[in-house]
Structure formats: structure tokens, C-alpha cells
Structure 1
Amino acid sequence: MSVISSRISRRRTMARWIAVALTIAVVSADDNWPQFRGPKSGVAADDPVLPDTWSPTENVVWKIDVAGRGWSSPVVWGDHVFVTAAVNTAGADESLKPVPSYTARSFGGPMSGRDIGTSSDPHRWVVYDVDFKTGKIRWERSVRTGVPTEPKHQKNSYASETPLTDGERVYAYFGNVGLFAFDMNGVPVWSKPMGPFKVRSGWWSAASPALHGDRVYIVNDNDDRSFIAAYDKRTGDEIWRTSRDEGSNWTTPFIWENALRTEIVTSGSQKVRSYDLNGKLLWTLTGMSSARRRRIIVHQLGLSGRSAPAGLRDPSRRLGGHLARKE
């Protein structure tokens, strides 16, 4: 079950329906949640008035069935709630297991990196626009129909990347399918097919896009040809692409506006990298583990990854004592 409010969106869990849960007196659809982890990439004030418990009836305004399966988060702009999914056109997806069955072996559970799922059924990759007030689906658009080109881990889905919106368009990114833009009425604006790319151990993709100014940024780290790229949000034209000496990762780029400049900070295998808005490498921070799955959070002082950094190298200038820290 996935829970959406107009101020906070929670990740969609392993179910095929979504619900809105909120306190009507204090929550307004004018509050926007435009991208993965919100407008400030995870920094949000705690509102004690918002509910923190739900049941099939408690604090639920509406709920709807949504075809398909996707671990992407919903994003909200005004009274638009955008979600994505991959729909098995041949019938129902394989039944989900009890939640404890997905616990990793490193935490005493049964699941490992070798638990891969494959499908020979055609799938539709879909973007939905749901009315915030009523829960009715305004429109749905398919961006591709076909058999998945790669397998996926059983804990992943074929639609795990969270879309983003600026109130003019919604941008849906599926790492092994492409990047697609629609206006708020569901009219296709542009599309950039991508891949297929081989992903480590057949785990599929999951890195969400980021928006800054008039550009959409993506990181696609895979086992074929990893890269970071910027696209014009109005036309879809590729503005630049920078190759990355990386294997597969599942991280979302973080736009860091600091006192010196604006940077695109990315995590990766053994290393965090920062780029300027033209794709030039600014600095690297070593000491990470072999694969990264989360967005970078930047503070004045901190660390990135599970261990202390082995070294910070800035090819352009010093960062004034700023380090990067993983959430």
C-alpha cells in the first residue's frame, strides 16, 4: 500500500493500489512534492498535525486500484498526483511473498543478490495522473510496450524511478527504457529512448532524475557505458553527456547550491563525484562501498558512505570544509 499526502509522499510498497491519507484541515493541495524525496531532497520540516497511523478506514480520504507494479514514489503538484508503473499485459504479476521473505541475508533473512526474477511477458511502462481531491485517474500514458530487456532483482520493480514535475510538465524516467515528458494534460512533449543497458547481476535500474533550472539531469550507471547527462526540459535535446568510470549503481543526482557554486553531486562505486552544470568533474571523495543506492545529502560537515572517506580531491578549488554525507 502506498500513502500519499500533499506535503509528504511515502514510497510505494509492494501492492497494486494507492491511497491518500491526510488531515483535511491542515493539508492543502497547493503544497508541492515535485521529485524524489521532495523539493529539498529530503530536508522537510516535521508537521506534527499530519497523521502517522493508518488503517483501511482511519485517516484515508480515498484509495484506488492502479494497474501494474512500481516502487517509484508519487510526486505532487497542485491537484496532480503522478505515479508510474509497469503493467504485465499477459496477466497478473507473480504474487508477492510475505514481507520477511525479502529480508537480506546480511540481516538474518533468506534473500540474496542472486534472487533474480525474469519475465517473458510484454509489459507497458505507464505514467498516471491522479486527481488529488477525488482519486480519479485523469489520464494514463504508455511510453513503451515490450518484453523487459533484462531481468530484475525480486526486491526491485520495472518502474522504480520516481518521476518529477515542475508544474508545466511531468518527466518520467525508466533507466532501461528512456526519458519521457508530458504536459499537465497528458500530451506527449518529447521522448528520449535509452538502452538497453546491462545492469549488475540482473538487478534492473532504479535511479531517479533531478531537475534544476531548465535542465533534467540523469545518472545511468550500468555495466556497459555509464554516464551522467543533462537534457533541455522543454525540448528534450541532450545538452551534454559525461562518461563515468563506474559499474552499476542506483543513485539519484543531488543538486547542491552552496556558497561557491551549484554542483551535481553523485555517489558511486568507491567514490563520490561532483560535476558543474556543464558536466565538468569538480572533485571526488573516496571511501565508499562497491555499490550505491541512495541520493547524497550534503551538509557543512559530514561523511558519505558507511566508512570514513579516504581522501578528498578537488580539481578546481577547495570546498571550504564541506564534505558530502550519505543519508
Structure 2
Amino acid sequence: MRPFLFAACWASFVFLNVALLPVGAEDWTRFRGPNATGMLSVDTELPVEWSETKNVRWSADIPGIGWGSPVIVGDRVFVSTVVADEQGTEPQKGLYLGQGVREPAPGIHHWQVHCFSLSTGESLWQHEPKTGRPNVPRHPKSSYAAETPTSDGERLYVLFGDVGLYCYSLTGELLWSHPIAAKKTNLDYGAASSPVVHDGQVIVVYDNLEESWIASFDAKTGTPIWKTKRDETHSWATPLVWENELRTEIVVAGREMNRSYSLTGELLWEFDGDMSVLVIPSPFAVDGLCYLASGYVGDAHRPTFAMKPGASGELKIGDGFENSEYIQWYQPRASPYNTSQLVYRGRLYTLYDQGFLTCHDAKTGEEIYGKRRFSPGGSFTASPWAANGLIYCLSEDGLTYVITAGDEFALKNTNPLNELSIASPSISGDALLIRTKSKLYCIADQDQQAAE
């Protein structure tokens, strides 16, 4: 091919691929997005309707099983997964109240990291940092790749909670790794808390029955910076780096104590919230308040707390949570089991595993509407997200319910993908990334794209 023809063809190829990228897209760098809220910092127009074929920009097959959310940096989408050579217990949907799988899964497993192009879905690279047999069992609904990776825009940090922490360049080079000794967890449920990165530190929490801890690793080298013991056993929540008006702190929910740590690992504050026996929802902060919750379905007390910044030491609860200086408001029975809550346009939305949605005033905790059941019914593990005046809720059947945000419950649409869906979706501009059991979908309004 003559040089000018080659150059013209290459320029056309680059233009077409750049044109497919969401304009001004914000990176989705961790579990529940850049600010851990289930939203982008600027509202965007996501599709309202889709299916396995409608409004699908692309889809890609993902081998194995993994329930971490897709992480998006520029034109790259990253997911982790574990591929087993032998058939083990398949993940199950629905509420599970029994023990975990009592033995490690059989056969050789392959812990993998995959990278796709956001614009085309093309596989850009994959890497297998670990090959071997699992050392511990897992929850029958879960995976050995339950954690969502994280990125600081320069590197990718992938946590396989019972194996190790791995750091990659965005082009797929393994830069460093740090092994993590597998520990026994409650009922052999395994690990699930996702890592976070802030100001050159990768923060990891590993609560278990033997030796629980929160630790910091140097983002460039993997060198341990600090490690603080935790008196916790039944917690799987992802930590929050809370940048409030007074300071930056690391907030971690816990069954025994809700706690905050400094960026050097010292305890800042703690309080006994009489949390559920299992603590899974992850803390997040919106409009100056930090929200903490736990809602195991078998417990009578399933609290939500809205915390104000500035606390120190052990919080004095006295004769009730409502009277604490640093608790803005408290609801005793307003928390989900697996999902994390959502604050959008001044309202707190709670998605319950059994298929209900509630709405409270985010500043006062006052109930706006009580439990509204989805129709058709479903069970939920993925956390809700919001955009363009709508609340989105993905069921384990792969059905996304679209609800109009506001003071009344109004179901606008339902969108089927017809496959087990546990991972929380991710957003990039006008595109939605949904991970099902075997596929990664990039959902975008194709009619709008054609018009552009």
C-alpha cells in the first residue's frame, strides 16, 4: 500500500474508534465509581431500554467466574476472573442463609486479569498472575474473584483476597505483587472487600476469623507502609477514603465497631453501631455526610447511620444513637443485606435483596416512601446506580429495573440480559458496562450514536 493511502486509512481507523468513545467520560476507577457513590460526578444520559441485542455497542465473552465490577480508565476496561479446570459448585442466585462450600473448589484454578477496549470491546491483553489450587472454600454464591480492581489512572491494582495484591501497568505489565495469606472466614464465605487507592497508597481490608487487618501498600513499589490489626470477623465492606471539609480519613464498617483511620493507620474514631451479624454494604459519602449500613435479613436491628465529620475517640452514644453529636440521623431498620445504598438528588434509596426499594430524605432520614416491590419479582446483590433522573437496579436474573427518581415509586422500564448477574455495573459517559456470568456488555443508545 502506498504511504499516503496507508496514512489515510489509519487516520480513518483512529477517527472511527475515537468517535465511539463517550465524550468527556470520567474514569470509573473502583467499586461503585470514582467517589464510591454509584454515580459519576456529573450527571449523564444513560440508555433507558436495552436487551441482549438492543442498544448493545458490543459484548465480550469472559471465561471463568468473577463478580468484581468493570474498572474503566480511558479506553481500557479491566475485569478479574478465576477459571477452573474442573467443574465445582456453580454460583447460586437468591437469598442464602446456610454455610459456605465446606471444601476448597476442586482442580487447578487460573486467576486472571483481562483488558478490553472501551470503544470496540476488543481484547487488548490478559495476564494470569496465579495458577494453582484454592487454599480456602468460598460462599456458594461467590467467586474467588469477588473483589473489584482499582486504579489511580497510572496503574491497575487487582486484589484476589485470599491470594494476593497485584499491580499492573495499563498496558499489561506486572509491576509488583504482594502475597496474602489465606485465612479462615466466617462459615467459609471467603474474602470480598475491594481495594482502594489514594495519594500513593493502596488500602486493603481483610477481616477473618484468625487475624484481621487493614493495611497500606506503596502504589509504585508494593512496599508495605503500615498495617493495623482489626478486632473484626464478620465484615466484607469495601473501605471509603472520606475527603471531608475537616480531613481525609479511611472509614470501614464493622460488626463490632464502625471505625475511621488516618492515612497513616491510626484509629481516629469508633462506635458500636449494634450492626448486623454480617456487614456487607460499603460506606460512602455525599454532601458532607458519610453513610454506614448493615442489614442481615435475620437480624431485628438493621441500621443506617448518617455521620458528620470531625469525630474523635470512642463516640459516646449515651441513651440513643439519635443523641450522638456526630450522628446526623439514624434509622434502626432501613438497611440492605448485600447491596450498598444510593444517595441521589437529596434522597437515600435502599435496594433490598428480596426485591424492594425504599426512599428516605438523605439529610434527615425521614421516610419518603416505604417498601415498594418490583414487578416482576427478583433477588438482588448488585448495588443500584443513578443517572439522568433515573435509578437503575440490576437483579440476579440480569433484569435491570429503571425507576424514576423522586418522591413516588414509578417503574419506567425493565431490561433483560437473561443471565446470572451479581457484579455491580459501571458507567463511562453515555455507556453502561454490565457484567453477567459469562459476558461483559457495553450498553449505549445506538440511535443517538447514529444521529451523532
TM-score by length of 1: 0.81
In the TM superposition, what are the counterparts of 1:167-316 in structure 2 within 5 Å? 167-287=153-273, 288-298=275-285, 300=288, 304-305=292-293, 306-307=302-303, 314-315=312-313
| AA of the residue aligned to 2:136 | E
CA change 1:93–1:235 in 2 (3 A) is: same
Which residue of structure 2 aligns with residue 140 of structure 1? 126
Question: Helix, strand or coil: the match of 1:133?
Answer: coil
Kept in 1: contact 2:89–2:105 (CA 8 A): no
With structure 2 as the length reference, what TM-score do the two structures score? 0.60
Identity %: 37
Does residue 113 of structure 1 match 2:98? yes
Whether contact under 8 Å (2:270, 2:314) holds in the other structure is no
- Contact 1:301 1:321 (C-alpha < 8 Å) held by counterparts: no
Distance 2:165 2:82 in 1: 15
Aligned counterparts of 2:30 and 2:182: Cα–Cα separation in 1: 24
2:56 paired with 1:65? no
Render the CA deviation track for 1:52-104: whole Å, top value 9, x for unaligned.
Answer: 3321210101111111110110010110000000011x24555555xxxx322
Deviation of 1:148 after TM superposition, in Å, equals 1.0
**Counterpart Cα distance in 2 of 1:74 and 1:189:** 21
* 1:41 aligns to 2:39 (yes or no): no
If you compute each CA radius of gyration, which structure gives the higher value, 1 or 2? Answer: 2
Aligned residue among 137, 147, 170 for 1:161: 147
Query: CA-to-partner distance for each residue in 1:90-136, whole Å, 9 max, x for gaps?
Result: 24555555xxxx322xxxxxx32325264121111111111111211
Bigger mean CA offset, 171-180 vs 145-154: 145-154
| Per-residue Cα deviation, 1:1-22 (whole angstroms, up to 9, x for no partner) | xxxxxxxxxxxxxxxxxxxxxx
Evaluate the alpha carbon distance shift between residue 263 and residue 47 of structure 1 in structure 2; reply closer, same or farther with a 3 A threshold: closer
Contact 2:100–2:188 (Cα < 8 Å) also in 1 = no
Higher RCO (CA < 8 A, seq sep 6+): 2
C-alpha distance after superposition, 1:199-257 (max 9, x if no partner): 11011111000111111101110111000001100000000000001113211110011
Structure 2: how far apart are the matches of 1:40 and 1:239?
24
For structure 1, list consecutive stretches of 5 or more residues without a partner in the other structure: 1-23, 105-110
Q: Cα–Cα, structure 1 residues 57 and 308, in superposed 2: closer, same or farther, change >3 Å?
A: closer
In the alignment, structure 2 segments of 5+ residues that lack a partner are 1-18, 294-301, 317-323, 331-339, 342-452
Where do 1:117-136 residues align within 5 Å? Answer: 118-136=104-122
Two-structure CA RMSD over aligned residues (Å): 2.8
After superposition, the C-alpha distances for 1:165-197 in whole angstroms (9 at most, x for unaligned) are 122111000110010001011111000011111
